[in-house]
Each structure stands twice: as C-alpha cells, then as structure tokens.
Structure 1
Amino acid sequence: MSLKQRFRTSMKKVNGDLLTPISIFQRLQGKRKFLLESSAKYEGNGRYSFIGVNPRKTYSGIDQKLRDFSHLTQKEYFYEGELVQLLKQVMPRVSSHTEYPFTGGGIGYMHALPNTVPTLQFHVYDTLIIFDHLTEEIAVFHTNIEAEQVEPNIDELIHELFSTPTPAETSYTLSSFEKQSGSTYSAVFSGDAFALYRNLRVQFASAYMYYVEFDECTLIGTSPSSYIQIRDGALSTMNHEINIERFCQQETIEKAQHQQQGQLTSSFHAIDVVKELQPPHGLIGYIGFNGQVDFTAPTNMMTIIGQVAHIQTLHSDTSPSFSSLMKG
C-alpha cells in the first residue's frame, strides 16, 4: 500500500486482485453510483475502469438554464445561458498530472436522453476508485475542490471494499417492446437496473460500457469507440467525418485508417471543442478536473425512467437483438 499526496489531491494504491470493477461497484455504499469500464482490457482506453458514488455536486440543464446543486449543503444556484458554455465556467479545475486519464470530475451526458429529463446533466465526483486491469491495482484518488472540505478517510473506503459482503444476485424483466420512431424503442421494465447492465455488458461487450444513476433516471449502455477524446492537449477521434483541422495545429495532424488526431491550438479549451463537435444524438462520458475529456456516442443505450426503458440504437439493424435481454 502506498500513499501519495499533492496540493489538493491524495491517492492510495492497493493490490486489487481479489476484486473486480463489478464487485467494487456492488460493495460501495451510497447514492448516485457510476461505473465506466471496457471489454478491451490491457490496451489503450480499456486498461482502466472507473467507479464512484456520492457526487459532490450535480449540474443539470434544460433550455438556457443550468442548475448547480450541492449534495452536501443542499444549496442550489441557477445560471442563464448556453448550457455547455455554462458547464465550462462552473466545472472545478485542478491542474494535476498522473498516470491515469481520469482522476475525478464530471460524469454525464449531453443531449442524449428523452425529453422528460434534463438535456444536459453531470455528477461531479471528488473521490474516484480506479481499477487497473494491467497491474490489478486499485487506486483511490481524492481531489479537494473546496478549501473548507473535510478530507475523506481513504483507508476506511478501502476497508469497505474488501470487507463488505457482495450483495445477493438480483434480477430484472423487460417486456412489451414497442418501436417509437427510427431506431428508438421502449419497453416495460421491472427489477434491478444493475442486473440489466450486467447482462448488457456481456451480450453487447464493447470498448465503452457505462452505468450511471441520476435522480430522474438510470443510464446504461455500450459503444464500440470514443467519439471525441482530449488528453494532454491532443484531440483524437475514431469518426472521420469530424474536421479536426479547425481545432488542431496543422503540422501535428495524423490520420490513419481508424483514427485521426492532432494537438489542439492554444485558442481552444477541451469543452469548447466538445461543444462544437457534439452530434445530434448526444454524447456520454467525462470531463476531468484537469480538463481532459472522453465521450462516446449512445450506440446501444437504455434510459430507465420509472417502469419504462427507453432504448436507443444508432444501428437499426442491431435493435431486434435487444430481445435477448428480455429476462435476466
């Protein structure tokens, strides 16, 4: 076990070979949990899984109004304007350089869900659990984003992960599938949403898989690739329809069969690029405290609101295969 402390951050690593991202998620106690993981282990984006619970804040927006809600103080503030631009202004920023691509920040979506929920929503997590599939290490990373904030006890959290019994198996049911429009479907849902996610991640295993609990809904899905990723000032995308020349230094642009990338010019902030490039079908992913971002498109996604599962797929020929998830 090792502990490293920097200005406003602290991290502890432990051997995690007795745990998995799924078991870590199940043992965490609290609300508004999330899990980001990948089926492509040991390479690139698939090396790490990220798990969190009890976010510090939630930013949610509809039309031209962004709500800033503190889960600690129960206070809320409202801002008027373009939602993504407002998100850029309120998102905490902490400069940090670590071996991990994401060590805390906002987890959420932009314009990807039914009209009954906010069009933009991000939970802000200051404490993050990172599972390294290559070394089988667990890193617990905390970022102090408010001067008066009391530091969490990382040792207690690690003890919780190893000592809490894994919950009993749960189940779910999907029934009465109906086509709504295009590649959008609905179904009657009952049971445990995480049990549905566990089935989804097996039958639709992909490079990007996610489970995020919001107050209005639970969002689960899989996607084969990143739509837009910015790390250390470098923009990369698997989508060749994106014109990266608008944002990158021309001499740094590289294009291959499956990817194009380049170094951002100094005039662009990562969130500015996301705002310009977000597609009509929306994005799901993270915005780090350090300004790094990674978003995927809702290729196979379910939004569970009460007893209804809203199903969205960007490939209409794959939608009938959702019938394999009817019961689990």
Structure 2
Amino acid sequence: SIYLRLRDVFPNSLLLESSDYHSRENSMSYVCCEPISGLVLSKGELKKEYPGGEKETHAAGSFELIDQINEYLLAFEAEGGLPKLISSGLFGYFTHEAVEHFETIKLKQVADDARRIPEMQYHIYRYIIAIDHFKNELYIFHNQVEGEKENGGIEQIEYLIKNKNFPEYSFQSKQDEQSNLTNEQFIAIVEKMKTHIYRGDVFQIVPSRAFSKEFTGDEFNVYRALRSINPSPYLFYFDYGDFRIFGSSPEAQITIKDRVASIFPIAGTFKRSGDDEKDAELAHALKNDAKESAEHVMLVDLARNDLSRHCEEVEVKAFKEVQYYSHLIHLVSHVSGKLHPGASSFK
C-alpha cells in the first residue's frame, strides 16, 4: 500500500518486497522513488546520465561493460547509512541477453521482437523507503546531490504514506493468451535438449516459451495476484514508464556483504499439505528423493564453480537444509566465498 500511495506522485518507482521471509536478513522491503542518474544498455549501446543532466554514449562494441559500471560508481560517494539497511546505490536489472557482455556466448538475434527491452538498466534514486517487517519500522532516506537545495520531498513522502486514501485501478484481460511456440514446437525443443543432456553436452538447460495477452487497466493487479499465490522473500515490481517487469523468487541470485559472496541454491520442492505432521513426512521424503537430491547436488557444484572464478575460501556452509515456505517445502544450501581483491560486486 505504501508503493500505491507514492507511485502516482513519483512515476518510474521501484518496489522490492519481502512477503514470506525466514529471518531479518530477508525481511526488508524497499521503495525507490525519483531516479536522478543511471546507466541503460540497449541494443549494445551504453548510455550514462549523471545528476545535473550530463550524458555519455558509448557505441556498441567499444567498451567493457563491467569496467564502465565500476567507473560510473566511482563518480559517486555516499555518506554512511544505517547498518543492515540499503540507503543508496544502483537499483535495476540485467536481462538474459546481457550475458553476451560477460561471457563468450553469442545469442541468436530475433528480428522485430516486441518483447525486447533494454538489456540493462540501473539507476540511482533520490528517495529510498526501507520497511523492516521484523521490527515494524520504516525509514526514509534522501540521497541529496552535493550543492542541491532541500525541496521538501521527505515531508511530501511522509504525508503520502500517512494518507489512507490512494487510487486503485481495475484490470481486465481482453483476449486468450498467445504463445510464441505451439505445444508441438515446445515439446520438440525439450526432446532436442534431452538429447544434448544424454550426450553430456550440458548439465542443465531450461527451455522456455512466452505467453502474452492484451489487457486494459492497471497491471499492478497482476503483481498482486502473483504475490498472493506465490509469496516469497524476493518480490519485485519495476516501473520504467513504457514497460514494467515484475516477479517472485524464494532466493536471491547472489548476495554480497563485507566482501563475502553467498549463493543459496534451491532445488527440490514439494507442495505443502496444510498439515504439520504430513509436511514433516513430505520433508523427510524430499531429503531422500534421488532425483531431487541429484538436481540439488548439481546446483551446489555450479555455485561452487561460479564463486571460485572470483572468490577464495569457497565453502559449503549448509547443505540440503529443509526450509518451509507458506506454500512449498524447499531444499536449500549455502555456498560462500571471499571476493578476490580485484573483484567487484558486479563482476
């Protein structure tokens, strides 16, 4: 509801929400308002914008992306915030297609793809609202650029948060969903992938297909439906004006704190029954399921390999622990490593 109170006054805001958390470590939600600078990578071209309106453009193929991101970050210096709270920094996303800038992988180009969005967007936001669900506390941070005058933004945000009235809009789909692949085409792709797995070409591969449908109204209602049926510690809703992206995940891709990188592989999932005794039986069966265990071990090995590229002292801190979520039971491990001196968070 805090996000809904703010979004009409502060367009292009981001929501990072936690609704099914296990500890204080993943019990924070954040709302980011008013982007003041950022980086956008689109069709291989990188655009940078700094506070005050200064802009740079780098043509496709003329730069190393990680170097450009690190260089951009060096242009900023923030005063210390509160411990365990995020008060500043870059917020945004990478798409799958951005992998071409990190690995020697060339993707098949899709002409006139209506779903195409920039491969990367990261921005610094003027206001960050942090909500601690564990302590039931709220913090408002103002990232004020040096020499900038106070404009009463925090007072405005406080007023909007306290205001119990906020607009809500309807949502209505207008047609049946469409897919970029027929069932037969998708099954053929799965069979081809199984052949590559049998040959040993790959350890894991994830086929996917896109579904779309026209609608009228407010797509935030779709996010709320997702939040209802799949609550998780890591929900997000990013509004970029001409498009939005949102999703839900029980795990973070990677977390870095005090130069210690951690990955929490989740593989092995059973649906909860609603009965505690039955759930305990399901958890025992999950830990002893050969297929689920094989997949989990594979993901732990992949996490160890990924961290070893940029870390030392890589170790498995926890292995195949059962964790209960509101709707599901998962097997979770914890793999961590200390970043090499030359490694950055983005690297």
Taking structure 2 as the reference length, the TM-score comes to: 0.64
AA of the residue aligned to 1:83 = L
Query: Shift in Å at residue 63 of structure 1?
Result: 4.6
CA distance in 1, matches of 2:150, 2:315: 42
CA distance in 2, matches of 1:108, 1:96: 21
Structure 2, gaps ≥5 residues long: 98-112, 182-206, 266-299, 320-332
Of stretches 236-245 and 123-132 in structure 1, the one that deviates more from structure 2 is 236-245
Larger Rg: 2
Partner SS, residue 159 of structure 1: helix
Match of 2:212 in 1: 187
Mapped contact 1:172–1:195 kept (Cα < 8 A): no
- Indicate the residue corresponding to 1:259 in structure 2: 334
**C-alpha deviations, 1:134-168, integer Å up to 9, x for none?**
11111001223x32222343233212211262223
Question: Match for residue 16 of structure 2?
Answer: 36
Q: CA deviation at 1:65?
A: 2.5
CA distance in structure 2 between the aligned counterparts of 1:189 and 1:217, rounded to whole angstroms: 14
Q: RMSD across aligned C-alpha pairs, in angstroms?
A: 2.4
**Highest RCO, 1 vs 2 (Cα 8 Å, sep ≥ 6):** 1
2:90 pairs, out of 103, 106, 131, with 106
Q: Please, which runs of 5 or more residues in structure 1 have no aligned partner?
A: 1-22, 273-328
Given the alignment, which residue of 6, 20, 24 partners 2:2?
A: 24
SS at match of 1:167: coil
* Partner of residue 150, structure 1: 149
CA shift digits 1:172-206 (9 cap, x unpaired): 42642233254222212322111111111111222
State the distance in 2 between where 1:105 and 1:175 align: 40
Is the strand fraction higher in 1 or 2?
Answer: 1
CA distance in 1, matches of 2:174, 2:208: 18
Deviates more, 1:124-133 or 1:88-97: 88-97
Alpha carbons 2:94, 2:120 under 8 Å: kept: yes
- Superposed CA deviations along residues 276-321 of structure 1, whole A, max 9, x for unmatched, are xxxxxxxxxxxxxxxxxxxxxxxxxxxxxxxxxxxxxxxxxxxxxx
Q: Which moved more, 1:74-83 or 1:50-59?
A: 74-83
Seq. identity, %: 22
Query: Partner of 2:297 in structure 1?
Result: none
More helix by share: 2
Partner of 2:309: 246
For residues 150 and 184 of structure 1, the distance between their equivalents in structure 2, rounded to whole angstroms, comes to 49
How many residues are paired up? 247
- The one-letter code sitting in structure 1 at the alignment partner of 2:159 is H
Alpha-carbon contact 2:178-2:213 (below 8 Å) kept: no
Q: Determine if contact 2:21/2:232 at 8 Å carries over to the other structure.
A: no
Superposition TM-score, scaled by structure 1 size: 0.68
Which shifted more, 175-184 or 235-244?
Answer: 175-184
Q: Output the CA distance in 1 between the equivalents of 2:91 and 2:180.
A: 28
Look up the match of 2:29. 49
Equivalent residue, structure 2, for 1:163: 163
Q: What secondary structure is seen at the aligned counterpart in 1 of 2:141?
A: strand
